[in-house]
Amino acid sequence: MKIIDKHSKSYTLYLSLLKEELVPALGCTEPIAIALASAKARDVLGEFPDEITALCSGNIIKNVKGVIVPGTGNMRGIETSAILGAAGGNSEKQLEVLSNIKPEHVKKTRELIKTNMCKVKVIQGTSNLNIIIEMKKGINSSLVEIKNKHTNIVRIEKNGKLIFQNDIESDSPSGEKADRTHMSIEDIYDFANTVEINDVKDILDRQIEYNTRIAEEGFKNSYGANVGTTLVKCYGNDIKTIAKAYPAAGSDARMSGCILPVVINSGSGNQGMTVSLPIIKYAQHLGVTDEKLYRALVLGNLTAIHQKTGIGNLSAYCGAVSAACGSGAGIAYLHDESLDIINKTIVNTLGNVSGIVCDGAKPSCAAKIASSVDAALLGYNMAVNGQVFHSGEGLVKDNVEETIKSIGRLGRNGMKETDVEILRIMVE
């Protein structure tokens, strides 16, 4: 283990990534991003519009189709997200844009959907995450475009005139895109071991509080397919089951319109819960110190971010797998395992479930989360028993970094046509 100096580029990078990625979001991030763009377009227009046109990339359409917009009871879809964002969204609250929605806003949205005042169009040949909201009121118009990240506004127009443009692909607080090209599990491990806890405590305390609370809500009430409660009911409450059931229960609630926020990872609340909750529950089970938990969460979160960087925020590759690799690494860390065991845990997990596809945000995400965490636990137990998948076996390469690159190619390039076909099937 090497000490990473607080003033080094690596320290600054990893800390900035945690601040940039681990932010609160209310509801599934794709419909919320639409609501954010819509609320901002309404602000620019200066009044509620007569017409809304929502232009979305295929992956946005895929991830909005099956998930309930929070606060609406049972309403889904791009039209709901766009109209509700215009009716009552607060653009200053970013991914919590719908946190102040009231019953009258929902009622207005329900009525306006019937009038077809919101038109939806697909954007072809663009990035996987692209939203353009156009509004009109009389002779006045506005336009807001989000691209590459869920809160990254790249263009604003008023009455056809450009009033804001941002070519930077990141929405980080510094306004600059962090250079992730030199990330590695070894560096992340060293950072997790040496980071000053006060630098990350507030970020992680919020992750622990928010994600635990929504998981507990998922157990208390009936949401979606109730994957979390089914796991506990059928398999008991040993720590291996709890580690799977908690993020599944959180997803049950979140995919079915629960109004509680979560702290996301790589643009996804499901991934934020998948990477954090198994580590949190194992830390409680093992009785480790708060410091140990924080360091395990740093390792887990950054491991998930590192893997997702090569894939992109949205693709046909299920992000729960990347997040579960992070939780597996964090659980290994809690058990005082070596970097070698952590690397093997990641490789074993990727060698198992890297073929799970993303067919949009919906209740079955909870089951995919449970399966991914189960694979991570298996991967860890294989590693501590001296078992690892070897180079040349499928997509597994010579080491953990090459394997992560291999999976990145699969998710970003290899699954492009899969992504198109999934969307075709979903909209038929």
CA distance 182 to 342: 19
DSSP 188-206: HHHHHHHS-HHHHHHHHHH
Which residues are paired to 56 by β-bridges?
122, 131
Contact predicate 333/289, CB 8 Å: no
Asked: is 26-165 a CATH 2.30.42 domain? The reply is: no
CB atoms within 10 A of CB 338: 14
Number of H helices, E strands in the chain: 16, 8
Domain ranges of the chain: 26-165, 183-427
pLDDT category at 281 given cuts 50, 70, 90 is: very high
What's the whole-number mean pLDDT along residues 1-22?
88
| Angle at which helices 269-286 and 290-309 cross, to 10° | 150
pLDDT exceeds cutoff 50 at 175? no
Residue 16 CB-density burial (10 A; 0-12 exposed, 13-18 middle, 19+ buried)? middle
pLDDT category at 423 given cuts 50, 70, 90 is: confident
The domain 183-427 is placed in CATH, from the list 3.30.920, 3.40.630, 1.10.3470, 1.10.4100, at 1.10.4100
Could you tell me the two tokens for 152? 């990254």
CA distance 114 to 298: 47
The string of pLDDT tens digits covering residues 180-221 is 878 999 999 999 999 999 999 999 999 999 999 999 999 999
Which residues are paired to 130 by β-bridges?
147
pLDDT exceeds cutoff 60 at 169? no
Strands 118-122 and 51-56: parallel
pTM: predicted TM-score of the whole model, two decimal places: 0.91
